[in-house]
């Protein structure tokens, strides 16, 4: 393979590079911006698709943001590919702030027990409930699970998690996500329209230039008798 690395990176180095890119996040954002601008569709549909992806990033459905973004774009007749790019709004650097702000606002709106939360606490809560449900599933399938609890305890802890974390996160995340999505839409639409206009002008100028060169070449070519 031509572009294969001479020294392949380990899984750990790939994970570190994903969270902390060697060339920084600016280059990645510029790349995403270029890719979004080059999508073949109308500026409103592309911008709306990206906004759907941004909104999906504020939902507590971790691991399913691509599917949520694609469904929202499909339902709103926006560009699905642009919606997948829009999920970049939720990245390793922004997730702690998204989680803390979404849950904090959601608890304030729903009258939750504590309005002061941090990103690590939210991630820890999702990790704990995920581990609990996984152990319950393995136990149901007949596997011997260490420190397993009964289905009654699992159900009680899940309902507590739903009331204190999941539901407030949905409410707060949707509220903030709608605001971010609107900002993304109105920021991307004129930028995409301007890029497509410049691209059409460049292509038209290139076609005219090629046409003139062919015409000059045809005039210089002697006609055989």
| Cβ atoms of residues 97 and 211 within 8 Å | no
What pLDDT shows up at residue 41?
Answer: 82
Asked if residue 65 belongs to a domain, the reply is yes
Q: For the whole model, what pTM was predicted?
A: 0.73
Instruction: Look at 45-54, 118-127, 132-141 and tell me which has the smallest mean pLDDT.
Output: 118-127
CA angle 122, 149, 133 (to 5 degrees): 45
For 161, the token pair is 């998690």
Asked if residue 154 belongs to a domain, the reply is yes
Asked if residue 91 belongs to a domain, the reply is yes
pLDDT greater than 60 at residue 202: yes
Give the number of domains in the chain.
1
Asked if residue 162 belongs to a domain, the reply is yes
Asked if residue 151 belongs to a domain, the reply is yes
Asked if residue 17 belongs to a domain, the reply is no
Under the banding of pLDDT at 50, 70 and 90, the label for residue 123 is confident
| Cβ atoms of residues 48 and 185 within 8 Å | yes
| Cβ atoms of residues 47 and 184 within 8 Å | yes
What pLDDT shows up at residue 190?
Answer: 92
Separation of CA 163 from chain center: 26
Q: What is the DSSP string of the chain?
A: -TT--SSPPPHHHHHHHHHS-TTHHHHHHHHHHHHHHTSSS-HHHHHHHHHHHHHHTTSS-TT-HHHHHHHHHHHTT--HHHHHHHGGGS-TTTHHHHHHHHHHHHHHHHT-S-S---HHHHHHHHHHHHHHHHHHHHHHTT---TT---HHHHHHHHHHHIIIIIHHHHHHHHHHHHHHHHHHHHHHHHHHHHHHHHHHHHHHHHHHHHHHHHHHHHHHSPPP-
What pLDDT shows up at residue 67?
Answer: 95
Backbone angles phi, psi at 177, to 5 degrees: -60, -40
Give just the sign of the alpha carbon dihedral 138, 144, 147, 150: positive
What pLDDT shows up at residue 192?
Answer: 87
11-55 confidence digits (pLDDT tens): 545 544 444 455 555 555 566 666 666 778 899 999 999 999 999
What pLDDT shows up at residue 80?
Answer: 92
In angstroms, rounded to a whole number, what is the distance separating the alpha carbons of residues 95 and 35? Answer: 23
Asked if residue 134 belongs to a domain, the reply is yes
pLDDT, the chain, mean: 79
In angstroms, rounded to a whole number, what is the distance separating the alpha carbons of residues 114 and 125? Answer: 14
Give the residue numbers spanning the domain of 166: 42-192
Q: In terms of residues, how long is the chain?
A: 225
Asked if residue 170 belongs to a domain, the reply is yes
């Amino acid at each position: 393979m031509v572009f294969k690395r001479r020294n392949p990176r380990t899984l750990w180095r790939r994970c570190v590079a994903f969270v902390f890119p060697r060339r920084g996040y600016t280059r990645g954002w510029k790349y995403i911006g270029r890719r979004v601008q080059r999508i073949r569709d109308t500026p409103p549909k592309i911008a709306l698709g990206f906004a759907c992806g941004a909104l999906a990033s504020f939902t507590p459905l971790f691991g399913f943001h691509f599917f949520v973004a694609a469904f929202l774009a499909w339902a709103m007749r926006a560009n699905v590919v642009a919606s997948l790019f829009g999920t970049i709004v939720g990245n390793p650097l922004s997730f702690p702030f998204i989680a803390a702000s979404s849950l904090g606002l959601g608890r304030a709106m729903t009258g939750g027990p504590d309005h002061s939360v941090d990103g690590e606490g939210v991630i820890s809560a999702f990790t704990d409930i995920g581990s609990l449900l996984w152990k319950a599933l393995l136990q149901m399938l007949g596997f011997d699970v260490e420190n397993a609890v009964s289905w009654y305890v699992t159900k009680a802890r899940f309902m507590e998690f739903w009331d204190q974390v999941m539901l407030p996160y949905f409410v707060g995340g949707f509220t903030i996500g709608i605001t971010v999505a609107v900002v993304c839409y109105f920021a991307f639409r004129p930028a995409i329209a301007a890029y497509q206009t410049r691209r059409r002008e460049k292509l038209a100028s290139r076609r005219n230039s090629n046409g003139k060169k062919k015409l000059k070449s045809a005039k210089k070519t002697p006609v055989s008798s």
